[in-house]
Amino acid sequence: MDYEKSMKRCIELAECGAGNVSPNPLVGCVVYDRDGNLISEGFHRKCGENHAERDALLKLKNDEARGGTLVVNLEPCSHYGKTPPCADLIIEKGIARVIAGMEDVNPKVAGNGFKKLENAGIEVVSDVLEKECRQLNEIFIKNMTEHKTFVAIKTATTLDGKIAASNGASKWITSEKARAHVKNIRNCYDALLTSSSTVIADNPSMLHKCNIILDRQLKTLNGYKIYNNQRVIVFFDEALPMPQGNAEFIKTPVRDNMLDLEFVFNKLYELNIMSVLVEAGGHLNGQVLSYADKVYHFIAPKILGDNNGRSCFDFRILTDIAECYNFKIDSVEHFEPDILLTYYPISKI
Ligand code: AOF
Ligand code: ZN
């Protein structure tokens, strides 16, 4: 049996839960009978619903899985959470071998699932496609191990790194295909975060289940499309009076004329917002860089050549090149005619 191929299928299945499982992990599972025939597949659809292993195993008749192999991208759980332990069901169904992608980082599980299976005489093989499995659940891993919200930035620039001309005009830098993919990226995040400057300049709708606006001086309260979304959270200067309006308003400390981002991201975690995608201009992007876990950078094959054009990370005057931020490029994808670079800060790898 090709474990890596089966694990890739688990990852594919797991991704079907994107956008619905937070704060839980993305998990997919495939089951083979004792002769190696694929007999079931499953995935975790929604927080609170069946785990992937249970989803796959409950589709089978009594003894179908006996002596078989179960492949899953995360260690099966051993604890009673919203659902009973998957390890118990795996044992009950008579599975002979479990192939997993990674040990669970949830301290309630953390190796206990594997122990439970092994104590029942089940053969366990872990860390198959571990890197891919960890990347699939990068949000869950950060939440569990650091108790912090995962922060990503999405930007789109020309070849010369500009998001707009000096007059602010920025419409349609990237192609239809690239913009369609942005919707998939947004779907992987609990919330989108932007600044009052972007709301005022572009009046974007940024359709999402949760939108966050950093609006220190409460300049966006009237008539902007973003306020029509399901849930809007506005961070503003704590010195101002609490406004009325169709949003949740959060008083925020101000440092150096900027809302305190440390406060903002801590507050998001308190509000159970486990991941946030920042889509803003160069100033906020730049300020967020030191908190960023990941950057999605679309590049269109255009050169603006505008002396005063706005850069995607535009927030400081640098005299020493050694102070640059360093990243590792993870992937380059084509969305004709544009590309998407995905990169991670080196300090966090
Ligand atoms: C999932 N889906 O497919 C697997 C998970 O509160 P509960 O019962 O939903 O348990 C959540 C924990 O279960 C989660 O943090 C992770 O450690 C483990 N495995 N969770 O949501 C799954 N296999
Ligand atoms: Zn489970």
Which ligand is located closest to the Cα atom of residue 21? 1
Q: Which residues line ligand 1 (CB under 6 A)?
A: 24-25, 27, 44, 51-52, 74, 77, 81-83, 86, 104, 106, 109
Closest ligand 1 atom, CA of 76? 23
* β-strands 275-278, 150-158 pairing: parallel
φ, ψ at 273 (rounded to 5°):
-90, 105
**What domains are there in the chain, each with its CATH number?**
3-140 (3.40.140.10), 143-348 (3.40.430.10)
Residues 271-293: what's their mean pLDDT? 96
Nearest CA residue ID for atom 13, ligand 1: 77
Q: What tokens does 226 get? A: 């973003």
pLDDT of residue 318: 87
DSSP per-residue codes, 263-324: HHHHHHHHTT--EEEE---HHHHHHHGGG-SEEEEEEES-----TTPEESS-----S-GGG-
Reduced to 3 states (helix: H, G, I; strand: E, B; else coil), residue 89 is: helix
**Rounded to 5 degrees, what angle do the CA atoms 208, 176, 164 make?**
80
Out of 24, 47, 74, mutate this one to test ligand 1's pocket (max ligand atoms within 8 Å of CB): namely 24
Distance 104 CA to ligand 1 centre (A): 9
Distance 86 CA to ligand 2 centre (A): 4
pLDDT of residue 80: 93
Which ligand is located closest to the Cα atom of residue 75? 1
Q: How far apart are the first and last CA of the chain?
A: 32
Residue 195 forms beta bridges with which residues? 214
* β-strands 338-345, 69-72 pairing: unpaired
Kindly report the average pLDDT of the chain as a whole number: 95
User: pLDDT tens across 76-116, in order?
Assistant: 999 998 899 999 999 999 999 999 999 999 999 999 999 99
Nearest CA residue ID for atom 19, ligand 1: 77
pLDDT of residue 310: 86
Out of 16, 45, 77, mutate this one to test ligand 1's pocket (max ligand atoms within 8 Å of CB): namely 77
pLDDT of residue 246: 87
Distance 119 CA to ligand 2 centre (A): 17
Distance 328 CA to ligand 1 centre (A): 30
- The residue among 306, 259, 254, 263 whose CA lies nearest residue 284 is 259
53 annotated active-site: yes
User: pLDDT tens across 235-271, in order?
Assistant: 999 999 999 988 999 999 999 999 999 999 999 999 9
User: pLDDT tens across 3-61, in order?
Assistant: 999 999 999 999 999 999 999 999 999 999 999 999 999 999 999 999 999 999 999 99
Q: Which residue has the tokens 């191990």?
A: 145
Q: Is residue 215 scored above 80 in pLDDT?
A: yes
- Element counts in the chain: helices (H) and strands (E): 10, 18
pLDDT of residue 240: 98
Predicted TM-score (pTM) of the model is: 0.95
Distance 339 CA to ligand 2 centre (A): 38
Choosing from 4, 12, 49, 53, the catalytic residue is: 53
